[in-house]
Structure 1
């Protein structure tokens, strides 16, 4: 599984060890879903030009899930690390919900009829 961290020009030179921190949060958030996740893209920016009530630091995480549409979460916070932590928690809950629905759908589908069983059914009629 691949984790890509993307930052805008307001973040790049400011934070040492940011990539490692993001990777640790993402890995902790998706550890139980690991075999279903192909890639996680993380986008970080500081939107100080926009005066936001919930803070100018922005984190977006997009998880590419095998057999399902991408799962995307966003968070704004006054502190960049808090935005990353909050988005990680949202990602965990969103994946739990999405993969739960996917598993429910698979459980409600009838099992495939095997060719030999079908052949026996049609020949005995």
Structure 2
């Protein structure tokens, strides 16, 4: 499973935070690793450098073997909260899709 993290120009894409988010994603999606080929994370600040409510957006796209990609997004006040919420959403979506395919 390859994880790629992209940020816009207003969010610093530090190696440390990229490694942290990659490890969170890997840990959360570990049991689906054989079904996932690639994860792309897109972080952006909706209103630039100004402070705002729920202005950090995290979009996660998961590419599953033999299926169409799944994309979800989550908005929060901080990068950490946006990523954590998006990880929960993508995990639930993948559980649903893989669970349905295994029942058939």
**Matched position secondary structure for 1:35:** coil
Q: Name 1:100's counterpart in structure 2.
A: 99
Q: Name 1:33's counterpart in structure 2.
A: 32
Of structures 1 and 2, the larger Rg is shown by 1
TM-score, normalization by structure 1: 0.74
1:73–1:52 Cα change, 3 Å:
farther
Runs of 4+ displaced beyond 3 Å: 49-53
The answer for unaligned runs of 5 or more in structure 1 is 106-125
Higher normalized contact order (CA 8 Å, seq sep 6+, divided by chain length) = 2
Whichever structure has more strand as a proportion of its residues is: 2
TM-score, normalization by structure 2: 0.88
Indicate the RMSD between aligned Cα atoms, in angstroms.
Answer: 1.9
Q: Name 2:89's counterpart in structure 1.
A: 90
The answer for unaligned runs of 5 or more in structure 2 is none
Cα pair 2:6 2:41 within 8 Å, conserved: yes
